[in-house]
Structure 1
Amino acid sequence: MLAIDAAIQHSQFKNRKIFEKLQVIIAEQLGIEPNQVSLASNFANHLGADSLDMLELFMVLEKAFDIPINDEVAKNILTVQKLVNYINQCHLR
């Protein structure tokens, strides 16, 4: 049971670190304050990002996290939480 708890804590820590880095990058790219970015934030509805904003953001994120974000993946990333999950998945490979 301790190994499972440790794995869960490690995963939560990793997700928090990804989110904290994302908050700063998203805020810089969209010209907003980092505290406006939450896991539940929808890029279009809550953060006001249009398709060009998202394209530019994904280009920055590909470099920042060393991950690929193709068109198929991009169209499914609507919230910050989905982005955290995707980055985490990429780093597990």
Structure 2
Amino acid sequence: MSDTYQEVKAVIVDVLKVDEGDIKPETRFVEDLKADSMDQFFLIDGLSEKFGLTISDDDARAIRSVQDAVTYVETHKN
């Protein structure tokens, strides 16, 4: 797994307070981790802060799984 995956995973564990073993690339935030809208807000905020990104509302809505988050970070970080 990539370093980005591990870093994204760490943010998810910290923000959503879930077990690291529950997180796989295909894991969906709402359906699998039961994240509500506030959880999603804090997750996007955590990713923005960790990677120094500005994530638009439209982009945030498209980030629905762990792999979506990893792909977004890898394509938008400097």
Cα deviation, residue 44, structure 1: 0.2
Does the aligned pair in 2 maintain the 1:23–1:35 contact within 8 Å? no
Q: For the aligned residues, what is the CA RMSD? A: 1.3
Any gaps of 5 or more consecutive residues in structure 2?
Answer: none
Q: C-alpha distance in 1, partners of 2:59/2:14?
A: 22
Partner of 1:90: 76
The answer as to 2:42 corresponding to 1:56 is yes
* Whole-angstrom CA distance in 2 between matches of 1:36 and 1:24: 12
Work out which of the residue numbers 40, 49, 63 in structure 2 matches 1:77: 63
So what's the TM-score if we normalise by structure 2? 0.92
CA deviation vs aligned residue, 1:22-58 (integer Å, no higher than 9, x gap): 1111011111111211100000001111110010111
- Answer 1 or 2: which has greater helix percent: 1
TM-score (norm 1): 0.78
Identity, in percent, stands at 24
Structure 1 residue matching 2:62: 3-state secondary structure: coil
Are 1:68 and 2:54 matched, yes or no?
A: yes
Task: Please tell me whether Structure 1 or Structure 2 has the larger radius of gyration of its CA atoms.
Answer: 1
Quote how far apart the aligned CAs of 1:81 are: 0.5
Using CA pairs below 8 Å that are at least 6 residues apart, which structure has the higher relative contact order?
Answer: 2
For residue 77 of structure 2, give the secondary structure of its aligned residue in structure 1: helix
Runs of 4+ aligned residues of structure 1 deviating over 4 Å after TM superposition are none
Unpaired runs of 5+ in structure 1?
1-12
**Count of matched residue pairs:** 78
